[in-house]
Amino acid sequence: MSVELARLIACHVFLHACMAGMRMAAPLLALREGHSEASVGVLVALFALTQVFLALPAGRYADRHGLARPVGLGVIAASAGAALAVAWPVFPVLCLSALLTGGATGAASIALQRHVGRAAEGATQLRQVFSWLAIGPAISNFIGPFAAGLVIDHAGFRWAFFLLALLPLVAWLWARGAREHPAADASIAAPRSAWDLWQEPMFRRLLLTNWLLATCWDVHTFLVPVIGHERGLSASVIGSILGAFAIAAAAIRVLLPIVAARVREWALVAAAMLASGVLLAIYPLLREAWAMGLCSVFLGVALGSVQPMIMSMLHQITPSHRHGEAVAMRMLVINASSVAMPVAFGAVGTAVGVTAVFWAVAAAVAVGARLAFGLRGRQSS
């Protein structure tokens, strides 16, 4: 791993940790203030809403301007979003903070993924660099919730939000000075529409597979604080359970670059879908914090192994001058789901209980594993 890639991973860690911490702390504050699960579902959905509308413009912006500008704007927006929650920790402001931190992280992630993909040479190196880059969000999904939970328990929500507001500034220190890659040739960089990417059948299959796996991630992120709150667990314990998931996802991504030359992308994705279905079916039956944490570890291993394989195949399917748009389209799809799913999870959970939500998602992802077997035609050497 090069020094520049290490710096970009560190940038990704601190910027994403701001959003991850806010995504745990803000719903928990809303629950403690007496808001319903449906309201909290709307709040969680807002972390993805801005990314739905910004994804394609952010992808085109990254294709034109590279890395520094999108990351700089993301740092400003994320820090401002968390700072607003420090000043006014009330539900409407938490919603605005969710929009700002979510949109900032999404736009910066598109630029980072595009930058790293353009620097890679060959399919094997693609899998390796995306495995390394994917470690960033996995680590930040531990740092953000765990640190926020500790500060909440010992100093309160405002100090937690203040800590989270500082993290994007640290991210910018790591990103400064990154070497830009040449822009795409202007003669080919103006496609008819980003939606014509859907004319490629493998692209459609890949994004649908990614959507199912992202839904597993969403149901875990949203419902663990809910069931933890129902069972009387403290903020630090809930943060630790989410942190165990994140550590497992990071650990498996550390191993992926080592085996990237031998791994079959479609086989790994299919196995992850089947394992996720089983684990989500078991999860709501667990009552003890240690058992929930252990299940989170196994789920983190399954879901954490997938993104580098998805990103590798995505860059092989799409032409180089449209990598920013392709990454943005993937982010649009999974974040559109992240807007709709927490609202649906909250409504269904309020009506029939969270167990039904876990089981419905488990069944969907297990049945959808057949999509991954159709990706064999994109197996890379």
Q: Is residue 188 part of a domain?
A: no
Q: Is residue 193 part of a domain?
A: no
pLDDT top residue among 95 and 261: 95
**pLDDT above 70 covers what percent of the chain?**
90
Residue 161 has pLDDT above 90, yes or no: yes
Span 38-58, mean pLDDT?
82
Q: Is residue 183 part of a domain?
A: no
Helix H or strand E segment including 263: none
Runs of H (alpha helix) within 122-184: 123-155, 157-175
Alpha-carbon distance of 364 to 267, in angstroms, equals 18
Q: Cα separations (Å) of 113 from 71, 144, 177, 325?
A: 11, 21, 17, 11
Span 328-332, mean pLDDT?
83
pTM of the model: 0.72
Q: Is residue 218 part of a domain?
A: yes
Q: Cα separations (Å) of 261 from 128, 256, 284, 379?
A: 8, 9, 37, 12
The whole-number pLDDT of residue 182 equals 57
The whole-number pLDDT of residue 193 equals 63
In whole angstroms, how large is the CA radius of gyration of the chain? 19
Q: Is residue 373 part of a domain?
A: yes
Q: What are phi and psi of 233, to 5 degrees?
A: -75, 150
CATH assignment at residue 156:
1.20.1250.20
Q: Is residue 180 part of a domain?
A: no
The whole-number pLDDT of residue 194 equals 62
Q: Is residue 17 part of a domain?
A: yes
Q: What is the number of domains present in the chain?
A: 1
The whole-number pLDDT of residue 181 equals 61
Residue 119 has pLDDT above 70, yes or no: no
Q: Is residue 252 part of a domain?
A: yes
Which range marks the domain in which residue 281 is found? 3-175+198-378
